Structure 1
Amino acid sequence: MEQIVFFVLGFVVLASALTVAASKNLVRSIFMFFVTLFALAGLYVFALADFVAITQVVIYVGGVLVLMLFAFMLTNKEVLNNLQQGSKRFISLQKLPALLVAVLFLLILVNAIIKAQPDNLAWIQASAQSGNVISPTDNMVPNIGISLMTRYLLPFEAVSIFLMMALIGAAHLARKEEHKF
């Protein structure tokens, strides 16, 4: 049963992400991105990363996606019409550099996965031999909280400043005033 749910979630992530990338309708893309993020949180739960799953839902779905929706709703209608009047074809000469970069990154990622052989890494084998593995009954959330507030406090605060800058930037872009450059 777990494998069926895992494969269904994986299919939902891939299908909704492709819909986000291929859709011409901005509202449909934003809502399919919502589905993608929730299904990805479900995959994190299957990877025993419950804290990352909750963080995914709270920060990305609850913060960033809502921010994108507000920016869309506050955007000028003419700007949206100009954005959606791009090329109607999925593959065109104008999109060729972006497609080449995407294919190049895919090849690099596949090559790294093939060459990495994660089951044969020395630190993973040493951890498994010493019995230092995470089981589904372990509660890692307190350890993550202690680490975030002690050892990783500076990166944690840097991320909060980054999110605040994104909020200010989205509010600035959503203003209806004419910009004179």
Structure 2
Amino acid sequence: MSLVRVLFYFLSFIAIASALYAASSKNLVRSIFVFFVTLFALAGLYVLALADFVAVTQVVIYVGGILVLILFAFMLSGKETLNILQQQQEKLFSLKKLPALLLAGVFFIVLINVVLKADVDNLQWVKDAISFKNEITPNAVMIDNIGINLMTRYLLPFEAISILLLMALIGAAHLSRKEGKV
């Protein structure tokens, strides 16, 4: 077994296990931080798939932006609301959850059926790409072009977005700050 395959299985296990824990945990803070681990594992899977730019984008946008917004939404939530959410004692399987469980089961069966019936080694477009030597090999040209375009042609929009995100972060920090009573 090659190192790439071991890394793929390891990162896949981390991503699936942390996503399941984040979805099933009653503690919201732990769920948010485990979601952080899930997003990093997905970025690692993108790196293994030779999609470096997508991996960096995953880290910058989702980990750096969306997860920070989720944390600030959590911090801005009232303590009473959070206590009510954490004190709810519901069973995993109940009559209220039956439609969602049935739909999830149907999607799972369809997914397993597609994976078992897919013959990815004999797809025509894969055979054509191999015969015409249209394989994408890892090289630095793709990443260099993206970096050069971001730092030349798209520098002003890139910097404007970073300033906008910084203002949103400062505003959220100011809103979440507790004011002393005068």
- What TM-score do you get using the length of structure 2 for normalisation? 0.73
Note the C-alpha offset of 1:144: 6.4
Note if contact 1:13-1:36 (Cα within 8 Å) is conserved in structure 2. yes
| Letter in structure 1 aligned against 2:62 | Y
Q: Name stretches of at least 5 consecutive residues in structure 1 with no aligned partner.
A: 147-159, 176-181
Name the % identity: 59
Q: 1:107 to 1:143 in 2, by over 3 A?
A: farther
- Per the alignment, residue 30 of structure 1 pairs with 32
Question: Residues of 2 paired with 1:120 and 1:145: CA distance?
Answer: 36
Counting matched residue pairs gives 154
Note the C-alpha offset of 1:96: 1.8
Aligned match for 2:74, one of 72, 75, 82: 72
Question: Residues of 2 paired with 1:145 and 1:116: CA distance?
Answer: 37
Cα offsets for 1:95-129 (capped at 9, x unmatched): 22211111111112222233332222221211111
Runs ≥4 in structure 1, deviation > 6 angstroms? 143-146
Secondary structure in structure 2 of the residue aligned to 1:104: helix
- Per the alignment, residue 16 of structure 2 pairs with 14
Secondary structure in structure 2 of the residue aligned to 1:95: helix
Secondary structure in structure 1 of the residue aligned to 2:135: coil
Secondary structure in structure 1 of the residue aligned to 2:115: helix
Which moves more between the two structures, 39-48 or 101-110? 101-110
Secondary structure in structure 2 of the residue aligned to 1:133: coil
Aligned match for 1:137, one of 139, 158, 171: 139
Q: Name stretches of at least 5 consecutive residues in structure 2 with no aligned partner.
A: 149-160, 177-182
- Per the alignment, residue 127 of structure 1 pairs with 129
Q: CA RMSD in A?
A: 2.8
- Per the alignment, residue 60 of structure 1 pairs with 62
- Per the alignment, residue 43 of structure 2 pairs with 41
Question: Residues of 2 paired with 1:63 and 1:7: CA distance?
Answer: 27
- Alignment of structure 1 residues 46-125 onto 2, 5 Å: 46-125=48-127
Note if contact 1:22-1:90 (Cα within 8 Å) is conserved in structure 2. no
Note the C-alpha offset of 1:25: 0.5
Which moves more between the two structures, 34-43 or 75-84? 75-84
Secondary structure in structure 2 of the residue aligned to 1:94: helix
Question: Residues of 2 paired with 1:144 and 1:103: CA distance?
Answer: 41
Question: Residues of 2 paired with 1:127 and 1:138: CA distance?
Answer: 21
| Letter in structure 2 aligned against 1:55 | T
Note the C-alpha offset of 1:80: 1.5
- What TM-score do you get using the length of structure 1 for normalisation? 0.73
Question: Residues of 1 paired with 2:57 and 2:134: CA distance?
Answer: 25
| Letter in structure 2 aligned against 1:58 | V
- Say which structure, 1 or 2, has more relative contact order (CA 8 Å, 6+ apart): 1
